[in-house]
Amino acid sequence: MAIVVSALKEADGENRVAMTPDIVSRLVKSNYEVLIEQGAGVNAFYPDDAYTQAGAKVVDRNEAISQASIIAMIDKPSAATIQQLKAGQAIIGLLAPLTDQDTVKALAEKKVSALAFELLPRTVSRAQTMDVLSSQSSVAGYKAALLAADRFSRYFPMMITAAGTAKPAKVLVLGTGVAGLQAIGTAKRLGAVVSGYDVRPASRGEVESLGATFLTTSVSGAGEGGYARQLTPEETQQQQDELAGFIAENNVIITTAQVPGRKPPLLVTQKSVDEAKPGTIFVDLAASELGGNVAGSKPATTVTTDAGAQIIGAGDMASQLPSAASDMFAKNVQAVITYITKDDQLTLDVDDDVIGELLATKDGEIISNRLRGAMKLPERKAAEGTVSASSEAATDGQSTSKNDSKGA
């Protein structure tokens, strides 16, 4: 009997969909059955007819949930959705396990296998095709540069006209991981003079390859595996002080430093915000309920300072480019599905160095050691002869994989 994969319609405000017609077609050809909740792809410009033509069945939400072996979602399920789940089902998505432990516990109680993309061990090469954080960060960085150009009150490129010459905008990108590099590349293509900052000196080559100037402070945050380490309070203060000079010289500042499950590092202090020139644009990709990289930023909100600078809380940029973001998200989902299935069966090996960390819950237990640590549970021991991959994965300026040169 074929494995049934379902994709659900997301909550209001989320425009992406976890499964696209192209990926549906590939799965159907590989003998999976695919169910799509009615209207799931409309906001990403994928109508129900496109899914039907790709070989999926378009059904109501109850059937999509009840008949599924594997459920793909963008965001974490609601309490009502969790109540409909059954033991043995698997759910894949951005489940926010590090910040919403109540949802994790509810999924464990249901004995659902919950695969959370935030827990993926991103330094393991086999996990690269599953890396939603990178794929969505790439979209976010691109969209952030476009948004900045749209909101900026002057030209991005230098313009020579009969009326005179307009100077190019000066753009500073803080954090040169996936989103940061994409923002740098996009701002350069728009004609701005671009600089990129990172605490990892090894990022210089990537930044300069895009034609931007690499900036760094006297604080080095290089850590293991290409990730940045957490800075001490003293280092953080020194970093902020030295960054203030860079910030004051630029018209647009795009910040990208995120650490899943933790408060984003504050890169732009209130003093820097207060001293920003009128018309300065701050685009904060880390803006969330946990905080942001820019003092005073608020998620999905534009704050205008007394001096006339704008702080744009842009944590939802991937959702604002829904077709492209959904395409990449769905490919990441497909990579996970093909990895965890064999001979029409789910094969969730908790001792596999990728799946053992990607799994938040299975059979009523908390599996990922990273999540167990966050929940103050003892480390789960892998079976003898297996390799554990509990290295912490995060995105962008403060924490990002050395393999993430695709441009968060």
Catalytic annotation present for 134 = yes
**CA-based nearest residue to 144, from 46, 34, 256:** 256
Residue 229 near residue 221 (C-beta atoms within 8 A): yes
Per annotation, catalytic residue among 128, 238, 323, 391: 128
Residue 26 near residue 43 (C-beta atoms within 8 A): no
Catalytic annotation present for 218 = no
CA dihedral angle for residue 37, residue 42, residue 48, residue 50, rounded to 10 degrees: -130
Catalytic annotation present for 227 = yes
Per annotation, catalytic residue among 113, 131, 368, 401: 131
Catalytic annotation present for 83 = no
- Residue whose pair of structure tokens reads 């795009």 in the numeric block: 254
Burial of 151 (0-12, 13-18, 19+ CB in 10 A): middle
Per annotation, catalytic residue among 16, 46, 69, 122: 122
Instruction: Compute the distance between CA of residue 198 and CA of residue 175 in angstroms, rounded to an integer.
Output: 5
**Distance of alpha carbon 220 from the chain centroid:** 24
Other CB atoms within a 10 A radius of the CB of residue 66 amount to 16
Q: Per DSSP, what are the bridge partners of residue 57?
A: 35
What tokens appear for 328 in the block?
């990449």
Catalytic annotation present for 128 = yes
Residue 330 near residue 51 (C-beta atoms within 8 A): no
Instruction: Compute the distance between CA of residue 107 and CA of residue 145 in angstroms, rounded to an integer.
Output: 37
Question: Over the Cα atoms of the chain, what is R_g?
Answer: 22
Element (H, E) at 35: strand 33-37
Q: Is 45 left (phi over 0), alpha (psi -120 to 50) or beta?
A: left
Per annotation, catalytic residue among 227, 316, 353, 370: 227
Q: CA torsion sign, 389 to 394 to 397 to 398?
A: negative
Element (H, E) at 166: strand 164-166
Return the axis-axis angle of helices 21-29 and 322-340, rounded to nearest 10°: 20
Catalytic residue IDs: 122, 128, 131, 134, 227
